[in-house]
Chain A
C-alpha cells in the first residue's frame, strides 16, 4: 500500500487490465500523448501503442458505437467521454444499443465495455462542462453505474468494471482526481452492488455519493463533537444498488439524509428516498432529507457557482435538522 491520487489509481487499474488482457483497448478524445484531460490515461499510449490507446476524432456517437460493436465481437473497450455533458451526443449508442443489446437479443450478445465519464462543478466551466446527471444512467435497465469516491475504490471498481461482462458507465468526479489515499499495488476487484459503510454511527444515516462522501465524513466528525453519531454509507455502485445496507442502516438510525450532486428532481437522491419510503418508512423518526444541486443549469459567475455547490456545512445543517426530531 502507498498513497496515490484517484487519477493515478485509475491509471494503474487501466495499466493492469491492459497488461493482463489483450482484448482491453482504450478509445477517447485526447487520451494518447495528452494523457486524457484529467491525466487518467497518462503514458499508456507510450506503453501500449497507438493501436490500443486510440486518440479518436471528436465523434462520440462514432466511437462509442464502435466500442459497442467491438465489445459484441470479442473486445473489451474502455472508452472515455471527456465530460459527462458530452454523452448527450451519443445517447442513442448508450441507451438504445449498449444497454439493451443483451436483452433485445435474448441474452445472446454481451457488451463488456466501460464508458468512463466524470461529473462535478467548481471549475468555472458553466453549464456544458460541469453537470452531474449520472442519475440518467441509473434509470436505464441494462447499465451498471459505478461511482467511486476514493482512490482505493476507484482502482478496485475500475478493474471490476473492465472484467465484468455488462456495459458499465463509470462515473468519476473532477474534484476527486487529485485526492490521495492508500491503494494496494496489486490487482483487486470491488464487486458491484456492495455499499461500504465508510463510518458507523447510530443516530443518522448519511447516504452520500462521490465527493459528498468526503464531505459527509467531515460533517460526521463535527457532529460527533455535539454528540451526534453519524453513519456514512457510500453505495460505490448506483446500479446495482445495495438496498440491503441502506435499509439496515435506516432501521438502526431512523433518520436519513441523502447527498448527491445531481439535480434534486428525479435524481439518485429521489430514488434512494423512495426506496426507504417504500421499504422502511415505519422505522423513520424524521422526514427523509435530500441535499442535491439546485434544479438549474450550472451557472458560470463564481459567486453563483459557489452557491450552486454544497458540502460539509449543508450536510451538517441537515443532520442537525434531522436530530431536531425526537
Chain B
C-alpha cells in the first residue's frame, strides 16, 4: 500500500504522543500526582495508531482498562485527558471517571472500560446503531487476549456476524492477562482462529508494525462500510511495563527480563522511524522536532491539569441521572 508522507508521519506522531504521554504518566504516578490505577500502553502503540489511522472522526471505538493509547489515537485532547487522570473537574469526565473511563462522544470514543470484555457488546451496539440510522459509520472494538475468553467476546462476534454489522474486532494479544500468560489461559495460540466459528475473516498480524496494522484495518473497514460485516484482527504485541504502574519490576513475577528486552528490541516506534529515515521520508532531525512539539504539548497538558481545580464536593451528586429530577 502506497502511503503519503503525511500519513506516515501521522503514524509516527500518534505513536510518539502515546509513548511520551505514558512515560510522563509513569513519572507522575511515581510522584503520587496521578491517583488510582494506571495501566500503561507502552510497547503497543502501533495497534492504536494503525487502527485509528484507518477510521474517520465519526467512527466509534470502545476501549479497555489500558486505554490511553486508543483515545489519544482517536483524537482525544491531551489537556482534558491529563486533567482527568489528575482527578480534576476540567477532565474529560469532570474527574469522575479517571484513567479507565475516558470518553468523548464528539470523537466517537464510547469509553475506556474497566471491565475486561465489557466494551465488545457496546461496540456491536454502536455498529448496529449505524446500520439502523442508515449511516456508514463503523465501530472498532479494542480488547485483549484475556478478554477473548469472556462470554461477551463470543456473544459479540456471533451477533455482529449474524447481522453483518460494521464492527472491527481488534484483539491486542500482549501475551498476558495480568500475570497469566496466554498458554495458561487458552488452549490456542492464535485467537483469530476463533473467527471461523462465527463465519467472519480472521487474521493474525504483527502488532508492532504500524503499517501492517493499518493495511489490515483499512481492509476490514472497507468490508464493514459496504455492509459485508465484521472482521476479527489479532495483533501480536507486548506491554513493556507491568500490568499497572506499581506491578513489581514490570511484571518479573510472571515473565523474564529477557522476554521484556526481546520485545523492547521490536519497538514499533523505532521500527517506523528507521524506515522513515532510511527511505528519506523524514530526517532524524525532523523526527526530533516532532518529539519536541509533543513534549511541549504534554508539558502544557500537565500545566493545565495542575492548575485545574478538583471537583467541588457537591459535584459527586451530579450526573447520576441524565435529568436531575430523577435523583433519589
Contact = CB atoms under 8 A, between A and B. Distances in A.
Interface of A: 23, 25, 51-52, 54, 56-57, 59, 61-75, 77, 92-93, 96-97, 101-112, 141-142, 144, 164-166, 192-193, 239-241
A105 B109 CA distance: 11
Given A104-B93, A106-B92, A164-B323, 17 more contacts: A23-B132, A59-B159, A61-B152, A62-B124, A66-B121, A69-B128, A72-B110, A73-B60, A96-B114, A97-B115, A101-B103, A105-B101, A107-B94, A108-B103, A108-B105, A109-B103, A193-B326
B122 A68 contact: yes
Given A25-B132, A65-B120, A69-B110, A193 B325 contact: yes
Contacts of A54: 163
B125 A61 contact: no
Interface stretch (B222-230, B294-302, B313-321): B313-321
Interface residues of B, number: 51
Contact of B158 (A57, A68, A75, A103): A57
A275 B155 CA distance: 41
Contacts of A92: 115, 118, 152
B7 interface: no
Contacts of A241: 328
7 contacts: A63-B121, A65-B118, A66-B128, A70-B126, A75-B128, A96-B118, A112-B322
Interface string B104-139: 110000110111001011111111111011000001
Most buried by B among A23, A59, A144: A59
Given A61-B151, A106-B94, A70 B319 contact: no
Given A70-B132, A75-B132, A105-B111, A165 B156 contact: no
A61 B127 CA distance: 16
A48 to B, nearest CB: 12
Q: Which 5 A-B pairs have the closest CB atoms?
A: A65-B121, A69-B125, A62-B155, A106-B94, A106-B93
A312 B104 CA distance: 52
A275 to B, nearest CB: 10
A104 B152 contact: no
B146 interface: no
A70 B128 contact: yes
B118 A73 contact: no
A279 to B, nearest CB: 14
Contacts of B320: 102-103, 141-142
B97 A106 contact: yes
Given A104-B101, A165-B323, A74 B129 contact: yes
Contact of B126 (A51, A72, A104): A72
A31 to B, nearest CB: 15
B103 A65 contact: no
A111 B321 CA distance: 10
B115 A96 contact: yes
A158 B21 CA distance: 47
A66 B95 contact: no
Contacts of B101: 104-105
Contacts of B125: 65-73, 75, 77
Given A69-B62, A69-B128, A165 B159 contact: no
B96 interface: yes
Contacts of B127: 69
